[in-house]
Structure 1
């Protein structure tokens, strides 16, 4: 980016609208504060100012952690959903001065649309996952699907640019909502490849690791069934969620060699990942999985089910291993094949790391986002 363009952006301000109900306190609680804020710290070095508009009460206490970014919190006496409509009015002084409005997710993006209408600013609607696509796969009611469709149609129509994290999402949004392709930019989730990297840490023999929420989407019961008759495999499950109790019960019943680690802060995750010989993501459906990308950045060979989000990242026997399906048998077969050949694991791990550095590193995606903002200035 040339000096003139840098000067243009250094005078610009960006306001980030948090997901409905989202807060810095929540990010901190689930161990995601450092990861989620890292990209904005880097963007802040190239922009005039970044403002976080959150649903937390007293989120300003995190201002020191966020360096030069300003934090605007929710007054304690205003309910979250009502605040999503009042936020642009309450913080009108700050929003009048910004140049770009950006959403963190689609859920709650209407707040940024209202701010665009009121203050006539450039709006970037970002979707880490496509709300309607995931809701449809999760089997929500037709009434709720219709409401989500209306919200998304409204937000996509008012956006000056739309950021999606996968090509599948791009196709879905273009076809479902009639959004022109020139308005859409595919920017996958970034990975800090300085933090997530191969480390000189001794591997635990037979250790297979999963990181994520314990929900139906992640297909963890089938994963437990897959390793049930593989006592040489030590399965480590990092995270929590509504299915944790039933998964623990199943593991106890069949005496499965599994360790439940609970939540692990993002900055402590690389060391844990590096103790494993492989990573597994057995999902029924996926968007652009940060956990998968982080494992690959650490040089782990990965096993993933052949659902569309995974297939965009994992190239079979090139930078990872795709199972033949989502069943316990398909997952077990992939585990046995990968753990039977150390040279294949080493090769896939090296090529996974190279792939992430070339396509998903923080530096690469920072430049792409800055180019997007620059293009909006020039329109």
Structure 2
């Protein structure tokens, strides 16, 4: 008989949200892999159950407004305890979904693995009010300090866990995974002088810096942004003011993103801060040349002039890097080749999930 695994979908998402916004197929791939070794139970803050895969069971919350479900999710073990009782080990795919697993750990004497793929409290501190930050910081602290194993996606996030929370139990570094069979080079015509970036249109991504840099070099580049967010209107206005050809696409199914990447010449990340940036890794997997700002997250995966170009968050310096990579075909080809190799060697799905599965099985054995 297989051991039973309870998998918690991130609180910052839901099955319904994943389905509407494209990434659900990533989770289905994970569930299918995990079924080789576990009977898989899924919990999320959804208001209805979803039929995800054969033999994978999903539990949802009562049909209440979203704000109520956000709170109820934290107390899931009291509301619907069945899967918590039956499971042998718990896995939080993101620290935001770990709190109910920690409660259940003490109620039912189970082991918990928490994946720390993003500095949640740091992001909230920068983007939201003090009260939201205090609440999120509390959830993160309780979740990390009481986990049996923490999986950090970068060495930097590992250090955050150790230093901020004085975590003394097992912590391993396992990066985000990329579907290298889906995200791969495609022989297609690339739009000349075209730049693409993917991410929410928020201040963290700092697409204003990108537009200002393109205005600075004034070379007729076109820009495609895949994402939505509160800065959309301002970015379109700025592009019009600077006479930049900007195309914003709100939603793209994850399986279609490789087509967009492969039809552009350059991927740029202008982020102020990152975790283990999946969009950058997906572009690298497609053998795209990358220019990225020198911030934590980007600098963890990009070696300057080897598998990408790193630059300071400066209008002039970013513009120089853009110009450099468009003019130097030898450098562009070298970066493209090395970027793809980096992802295959470090972030392939099978390699990443083999490591995660081994950690889960070890906790079942030790439980």
Q: Give the aligned partner of residue 293 of structure 1.
A: 281
- 5 Å-filtered alignment, 1:8-23, equals 11-20=2-11, 22-23=13-14
Q: Provide TM-score, normalisation by structure 2.
A: 0.94
Of 152, 167, 171, which residue of structure 1 is paired with 2:159? 171
Q: Which moved more, 1:300-309 or 1:96-105?
A: 96-105
Q: Give the aligned partner of residue 94 of structure 2.
A: 105
Of 223, 227, 239, which residue of structure 2 is paired with 1:251? 239
Shift of 1:183: 1.4
Q: Give the aligned partner of residue 55 of structure 1.
A: 45
Judging changes above 3 Å, is the alpha-carbon distance between structure 1 residues 56 and 145 closer, same or farther for their aligned structure 2 residues? closer
Q: Give the aligned partner of residue 29 of structure 1.
A: 20
Q: Give the aligned partner of residue 4 of structure 1.
A: none
Show CA shifts across 1:101-158 (max 9, x none): 111222242111111111111111122212223234x165555444433322211222
What is the rounded CA distance, in whole Å, between the counterparts of 1:365 and 1:122 in structure 2?
21
Q: Is this contact kept in 1: 2:47–2:64, CA < 8 A?
A: no
Q: Give the aligned partner of residue 233 of structure 1.
A: 221
Q: Which moved more, 1:150-159 or 1:140-149?
A: 140-149
Q: Give the aligned partner of residue 198 of structure 1.
A: 185
Aligned length: 363
Judging changes above 3 Å, is the alpha-carbon distance between structure 1 residues 191 and 281 closer, same or farther for their aligned structure 2 residues? same
Q: Give the aligned partner of residue 213 of structure 1.
A: 200
Q: Is this contact kept in 2: 1:51–1:70, CA < 8 A?
A: yes
Judging changes above 3 Å, is the alpha-carbon distance between structure 1 residues 21 and 352 closer, same or farther for their aligned structure 2 residues? closer
Q: Give the aligned partner of residue 354 of structure 1.
A: 341
Q: Give the aligned partner of residue 29 of structure 2.
A: 38
Q: Give the RMSD, CA atoms, in angstroms.
A: 1.8
What is the rounded CA distance, in whole Å, between the counterparts of 2:12 and 2:226 in structure 1?
24
1:322 aligns with 2:310: yes
Q: Is this contact kept in 1: 2:116–2:157, CA < 8 A?
A: no
What is the rounded CA distance, in whole Å, between the counterparts of 1:226 and 1:320 in structure 2?
18
Q: Provide TM-score, normalisation by structure 1.
A: 0.91
Judging changes above 3 Å, is the alpha-carbon distance between structure 1 residues 75 and 146 closer, same or farther for their aligned structure 2 residues? closer
What is the rounded CA distance, in whole Å, between the counterparts of 2:232 and 2:246 in structure 1?
12
What is the rounded CA distance, in whole Å, between the counterparts of 1:271 and 1:258 in structure 2?
18
Alignment partner of 2:297: what SS?
A: helix
